Structure 1
Amino acid sequence: MSSPPTGLSTRANSPHFSSGPSTPATEPDDPLDRALGDDDHYVLVTGGLGFIGSHTSLELLKAGYNILIVDNLSNSYDKVFVRILAAAKLHYDRIGLPCPKAKLCCADYQDMSEMGRLLDAYAIRNPGNIIQRSRITGVIHFAAFKAVADSIKFPLKYYQNNVRGLIDLLSLLDVHGIKSFIFSSSAAVYGTLADDTPRLREENCVHERAAYYTEHGEQVHVEPGCTGITNPYGRSKWFGEAILSDVCNSDPSWTVLCLRYFNPIGCDESGLLGEDPRDCASNLFPAAVRALTGVSSELCIYGTDWDTHDGSAVRDFIHITDLARGHVATLSAAQEGRISGSFRTFNLGTGTGHSVKEVVRALEAVSDLEIPVKIVGRRPGDVGSCVATPDRAERELGWKTEKSLQDACEDLWNYLTIDETRSHT
């Protein structure tokens, strides 16, 4: 396994563009130069080199979309862009078609000066120099801090980036007439409701009055709000949803889809993309990999006294490729006008829960290695169980998961094996 650099790339401090329709090119360039003479439409992906962002960028390319990635490399590497292009090229070489365009702007999405300059380059203006519309036809917003424990320790950092940054970005998009927006939300908005609800549905946490029918035909009325959010990260996502709901109420020309992720795992089946953050990720799969490969001495299991079948926490683990394809399905539904109303939330999960102990056993079976485990106390901000009801996404987006926990473990092991080979070449 290759060890990550300890410091940030110097390129993260100076915004630049890289592009490549089918072959990777990573030389610094100017956004205006790249945009001039290019009449194609793009999907803007903020945080597009992170774990979920990179896999979604790949699936967007496979679906035929041109993409424009903005990432400040604070928790990612620009080599991921090269791997996205390589994986996309494998796909298009196989089917004998040219790959769509992909561009990378290494910049902080909170830098309004740089973002304004970037969006100006894609604006379509009338003879009076007034912006009429944009060649950026949609935005998928991943750029956010996401560690629960870190958010408890540094709440202002999370509200600054995840909430204030979102507000500034929305204001800028509004000026440029870009009003199709997919928001990276989280099942963390359900908080302790997860412990009391076997399978969470979107109506458990709403921004306007709602009603739904139970499986027994009983009508349930829900008031706006969500109680029991356990950490600032979850609250930052709730605030983000609330802000977006208010924006849509004030201006129905917006189309905003909030995707509540459950627990993404695995890697692209090519073995070229995985989870490779600069920071030490605290979620289960990266922690298990560190123990599996000897980077850490053991995997900590946080609590075996939860009210679950084996005492360890239960989560709805969704293959990262299924999750990424959920974004493509959402974008397609938005652009085809298949969304009811201008604001909508969707759970992206499998509807099935697996315990931490079950995941450990599955990884051990695939790798034929033992994962050393240490049982420790519960972490602040955790819940015992969190499982989705994904019916709305299947019904309205035409999306459902196809891959299993076993698939995720096999794809992860494939990535680790290929990455080990890369590190020795």
Structure 2
Amino acid sequence: MSRLSSSRSSSTLSLNSSVSSSITTPDSDSEITGSVGNHVSPLNSSDSFILVTGGLGFIGSHTSLELLKAGYNVIIVDDLSNSYHNVLSKINTLAARYCSQQGLKLPTLHFHKLDYRSKAMRFLLESYSTLVPTFSENSGEFIKIQSKISGVIHFAAFKSVSESIEKPFQYYRNNVCGLVDFVELLGKHKIHKFVFSSSATVYGSKAAKGERLREEEVVHHETLYLDDFNNETLAEPSVSGLTSPYGRSKYFCEAILADIAHADPSWRVVALRYFNPIGCDPSGLLGEDPKGNPTNLFPVIAQVLTGSRTELDIFGINWNTRDGTAIRDFIHVTDLARGHVAALSSDIESPFRTFNLGTGNGTTVAEAVKSLEGASLKNIAVNLAPRRIGDVGFCVAANDRAKKELGWTAKETIQQCAKDLWNYVNQPETALSFS
């Protein structure tokens, strides 16, 4: 998540020869030019990088790790408004451990503490760019910008549904306005591969029909597709029932990116619609540890298990489901992270493409609670509460497109998610934050 920072300090953390950390949030152009140049020298390497905004957050940190394990050099940009700096060393430790076990060279990891909307981003992108003399038969010799950043994965966004209702300006300014300026800046540096962190919330009230959600149900330009009966069908742009500024911000961002890619087909934009990310890296070193009170189901359950909350609120027990509680598509965050790597490495011909990232299977909230009771061998106190406005009883992904076009599928079970979370909660450092 990205927020404006007031810090004016600059420092460098060197974890090992493969990691450099540039902590810079200046207010003037001259300060950022000097600090980026002094702390990081990316142009000494002939290798390309993947830029990850919000790369120390829950999903961002796991994705950064999976990118390193897949052999990508990574630049993380995060302002630490909803994450912690020590996550950087954990990512590097796990990547180094994996590479050592596999006999692989550890890729390069750079970190910059800054808001992705700040002036500093322009100078950071310039520091990873070079000017290349190029000859054209039509116009003769000219200078071409060549960036060492071959792709961007964009996580830096506010993500609380309830907070977005209270602070809509903040969400639209960061999530939507920030994206417009950022993508325009990337285009100026000839960086056209962009993976966007979207959400199943873009489906709005379409989720209320109680069927698996297909990408064609929310499109931004007319699209031909094959339906379940193999008939060619026209999908037209439409949306209904978006219940929060957060959900609308994700929809708006998708629409903007689709328009940009439509106008300039050199873009390759992938929007990944997440369902319900849970779990954490099996090592127990990475997990979901937001600043402030968590609102997602599994971290809240963890607080109940550790005693920092007395009980878990379950909203609605009279849904038309097997036990009366709502059904959700819970996906292990490592599976989700690998979906980003698959999207980044895919050779998609379309300038803009959306993909659901979910298991395709539904788990009730009560079943999710039982999975954590099984992992922890503890009982979880619950409070059965009325349904909330805007809630739906069934929200599950149709993930056929991701399987076919990305070669990706989720592998981990709800039981493994619960086991990994409980392992994370029981780490000494983590236990303090949940107490």
TM value normalised by structure 2: 0.89
Aligned counterpart for 2:329 among listed residues 316, 336, 339: 316
- Structure-2 separation of matches of 1:15 and 1:229: 42
Secondary structure, in 3 states, of the residue corresponding to 1:274?
coil
How far has the Cα of 1:78 moved from its partner? Answer: 0.4
Match of 1:351 in 2: 360
How far has the Cα of 1:40 moved from its partner? Answer: 2.6
- Structure-1 separation of matches of 2:402 and 2:394: 21
- Structure-2 separation of matches of 1:348 and 1:412: 20
Answer 1 or 2: higher relative contact order, Cα 8 Å, separation at least 6: 1
- Structure-1 separation of matches of 2:177 and 2:329: 30
**C-alpha distance after superposition, 1:83-138 (max 9, x if no partner):** 11111111112123331011110000010x10001001011213599552200110
Secondary structure, in 3 states, of the residue corresponding to 1:408?
helix
Question: In the TM superposition, what are the counterparts of 1:118-197 in structure 2 within 5 Å?
Answer: 118-126=124-132, 130-197=143-210
Letter in 1 for 2:401: R
How far has the Cα of 1:19 moved from its partner? Answer: 5.2
Match of 1:221 in 2: 234
The answer as to 2:67 corresponding to 1:60 is: yes
Match of 1:234 in 2: 247
- Structure-2 separation of matches of 1:11 and 1:80: 21
Q: Is the 8 A contact 2:37 2:127 kept in 1?
A: yes
Q: Residues 158 and 24 of structure 1: is their aligned pair in 2 closer, same or farther, counting only changes over 3 Å?
A: same
Match of 2:265 in 1: 252
Aligned counterpart for 2:37 among listed residues 22, 25, 32: 32
How far has the Cα of 1:419 moved from its partner? Answer: 3.7
Match of 2:313 in 1: 300
Q: Is the 8 A contact 2:288 2:299 kept in 1?
A: yes
- Structure-2 separation of matches of 1:12 and 1:421: 26
Letter in 1 for 2:101: R
Match of 1:80 in 2: 87
Match of 1:3 in 2: none
Q: Is the 8 A contact 2:195 2:271 kept in 1?
A: yes
**C-alpha distance after superposition, 1:136-194 (max 9, x if no partner):** 11000000011111111211111111000000101110111111000000000001111
Between 1:237-246 and 1:202-211, the stretch displaced more is 202-211
Match of 2:54 in 1: 47
The answer as to 2:287 corresponding to 1:274 is: yes
TM value normalised by structure 1: 0.91
How far has the Cα of 1:235 moved from its partner? Answer: 0.8
How far has the Cα of 1:237 moved from its partner? Answer: 0.5
Between 1:124-133 and 1:262-271, the stretch displaced more is 124-133
Q: Residues 393 and 85 of structure 1: is their aligned pair in 2 closer, same or farther, counting only changes over 3 Å?
A: same
Match of 1:101 in 2: 108
Q: Is the 8 A contact 1:68 1:102 kept in 2?
A: yes
Q: Is the 8 A contact 2:329 2:359 kept in 1?
A: yes
- Structure-2 separation of matches of 1:313 and 1:167: 35
- Structure-2 separation of matches of 1:363 and 1:262: 19
- Structure-2 separation of matches of 1:145 and 1:211: 33
- Structure-1 separation of matches of 2:400 and 2:170: 34
Unaligned runs of 5+ in 1: 1-7
How far has the Cα of 1:284 moved from its partner? Answer: 0.5
Between 1:340-349 and 1:36-45, the stretch displaced more is 36-45
Letter in 1 for 2:204: G
How far has the Cα of 1:280 moved from its partner? Answer: 1.4
Letter in 2 for 1:32: G
**C-alpha distance after superposition, 1:220-260 (max 9, x if no partner):** 43211211222111110010010001101111011000000
Letter in 1 for 2:369: V
Secondary structure, in 3 states, of the residue corresponding to 1:344?
strand
Q: Is the 8 A contact 1:186 1:260 kept in 2?
A: yes
Q: Is the 8 A contact 2:66 2:341 kept in 1?
A: yes
Match of 1:4 in 2: none
Letter in 2 for 1:76: S
Q: Identical aligned pairs, as a percentage?
A: 51
Q: Residues 57 and 260 of structure 1: is their aligned pair in 2 closer, same or farther, counting only changes over 3 Å?
A: same
Q: Residues 155 and 10 of structure 1: is their aligned pair in 2 closer, same or farther, counting only changes over 3 Å?
A: closer
The answer as to 2:419 corresponding to 1:410 is: yes
Q: Is the 8 A contact 2:330 2:358 kept in 1?
A: yes
Secondary structure, in 3 states, of the residue corresponding to 1:108?
coil
**C-alpha distance after superposition, 1:401-420 (max 9, x if no partner):** 11110111111111122245
Q: Is the 8 A contact 1:189 1:238 kept in 2?
A: yes
The answer as to 2:404 corresponding to 1:395 is: yes
How far has the Cα of 1:213 moved from its partner? Answer: 3.4
Secondary structure, in 3 states, of the residue corresponding to 2:190?
coil
Secondary structure, in 3 states, of the residue corresponding to 1:396?
helix
